[in-house]
Structures are given as structure tokens and as C-alpha cells.
Amino acid sequence: MTKINLTRLAAWTLTPLAAVGLALTVPAIAQSANALSSVQAHLKATDTMTADFVQTDRNGQRLSGKLTLKRPGKIRFQYQKGVPMLIVGDGSRLTVIDYEVRQVQSWPVKNSPLGALLDPDRDLAKYARLLPTGNKDVLSVEVKDPDRPEYGTITMVFVRDASAPAGLRLRGWVALDSQNNRTRIDLSNQRFNVAVADSAFRWTDPRPNRRGR
């Protein structure tokens, strides 16, 4: 059975990403605004998404699994067989469950970098910026709340895809905490706006005398 450190696993959903300096000219500012509008349109047009994911940490350890997302606020990372871990956002709280040691950690979804991904009504123009990629078909967007740096930051990567909502497909994201613990999520086989039941975001509490959630 694969042994995973719960604190390290939880860190990428909660801890801040290092800021990257970026000077913008006037044309670049307009381009950034247009790109952010496109990303906002994609988030609003995507009610649900399923995908395969590969998670890579700073040591090169790779885990795979199935991602299920339902906006607003719901997400599930079902890890590969043999990994006794589960991450679930039920619409209000994000919970990391370690079934091997019966440990649970939980916090409000909005206090996590994933809040930017799961709340389509957030105004990206207030707390996001476009990062250069060198490819006009790839958008890299760094998101953080300047008033709440402790909530963390997420850098999402989108590729232009005419078949995806608003012409964009989420390819994945990168998180980097203050201890330089870098975690990357790569997505594949994305399916948009498919039927996803709310029951997909329930989980069984492994702690004694606790009921399933």
C-alpha cells in the first residue's frame, strides 16, 4: 500500500504559491483583460467536469486518479487503487481523509486555492493576472486574494479548444507553498457538463463513532 503524508497532500489545496513578477504594457493589459474574461466565461459555462488526473509532488512522486467537479464548491479527487486517501469538497468545506490512519482535516472551500476554480461567480479581474506562456493557445492564470494571502494561490493552465465551454479546456494547475513544496495536477480525458449526482461528493468518516458524510 502506498504511504502518503497527509499534511503534504493537504498542503497543495491550502498553501500559497510564490508570486512571479510581471510588468505589463498597455496592450498587454488589454490582452490580459480579454484572457481573464475568457477564463471567467469558461468557469461560468462549466457546471460539471470529470477528468483523469496525475498529481506530481516536488520529489517526483506521481499519483493518479479520477477528478469529479460540480460547481459551485463540489470536487472529488479519487486516488488510484492502493492509495487510502480521498479529497472531497461538498460545496462548503474541503476535506482530506486518510483512511489508513483514520485522520481527517477540513476547512472552508473558500479558504483554499481551489476556491477560485470552484466559484464561477468570483470576479477574476480583482485577484487574477495573466502569466506569459509564449504560446497564444495556452493561458496561464495566477489567482490569489491579496487581502487573504493565507488562503493561498493557484496557477491554472488552459488551452484553447473550440469543443470546450467558452473555447477553453482546463489542462491543470500548479501549487507551490511557502516551504517550496511544489505540486502539479495534470488533467486528461476531460468531459464537460455531464450528469453528476450530489452523492458523488459524500464520503465515509473513518474516525470511531462518526457517521458517513
In a domain, 206, yes or no: no
pLDDT confidence band for 10 (50 / 70 / 90): low
Assign residue 84 the CATH number of its domain: 2.50.20.10
The b/e string for 32-61 (b: 16+ C-beta within 10 A; e otherwise) is: beebbebbbebbeebebbbbebebbbeeee
Contact 100, 86 (CB under 8 A): no
Residue 212 confidence (pLDDT): 53
What angle (nearest 5°) sits at the alpha carbon of residue 144, between those of residues 190 and 91?
55
Q: Report, as an integer, the average pLDDT of 74-101.
A: 94
**CA–CA separation, 45 vs 183, rounded Å?**
27
Least confident of 1-5, 68-72, 109-113: 1-5
Distances (CA, A) of 43 to 36, 125, 204: 11, 13, 29
In which domain, by residue range, is 172 found? 6-17+25-190
In a domain, 94, yes or no: yes
Q: Which letter does DSSP use for residue 16 in this model?
A: P
Q: Does the pLDDT at position 123 exceed 90? A: no
Q: Does the pLDDT at position 197 exceed 70? A: yes
**CA–CA separation, 100 vs 121, rounded Å?**
37
HSE-up of residue 188 (Cα within 13 Å, Cβ side): 6
Q: Report, as an integer, the average pLDDT of 118-125.
A: 83
In a domain, 115, yes or no: yes
Contact 17, 175 (CB under 8 A): yes
Residue 63 confidence (pLDDT): 95
**CA–CA separation, 89 vs 69, rounded Å?**
9
In a domain, 203, yes or no: no
Tens digits of per-residue pLDDT, 124-177? Answer: 888 888 999 999 899 999 987 777 777 777 899 999 999 999 999 999 998 766
pLDDT confidence band for 13 (50 / 70 / 90): low
Tens digits of per-residue pLDDT, 163-192? Answer: 999 999 999 998 766 556 678 999 999 999
Mention every residue, 6+ apart, whose C-beta is less than 8 A from residue 176.
Answer: 16, 17, 18, 182, 183
Q: Total structural domains in the chain? A: 1
Tens digits of per-residue pLDDT, 17-49? Answer: 333 333 333 334 446 678 899 999 999 999 999
Pairing mode, strands 74-79 and 168-176: unpaired
Pairing mode, strands 48-56 and 85-90: unpaired
Q: Does the pLDDT at position 7 exceed 70? A: no
Tens digits of per-residue pLDDT, 84-94? Answer: 999 999 999 99
Residue 114 confidence (pLDDT): 83
Reference 16, options 130, 187, 182; nearest CA is: 182
In a domain, 114, yes or no: yes
In a domain, 171, yes or no: yes
In a domain, 205, yes or no: no
In a domain, 196, yes or no: no
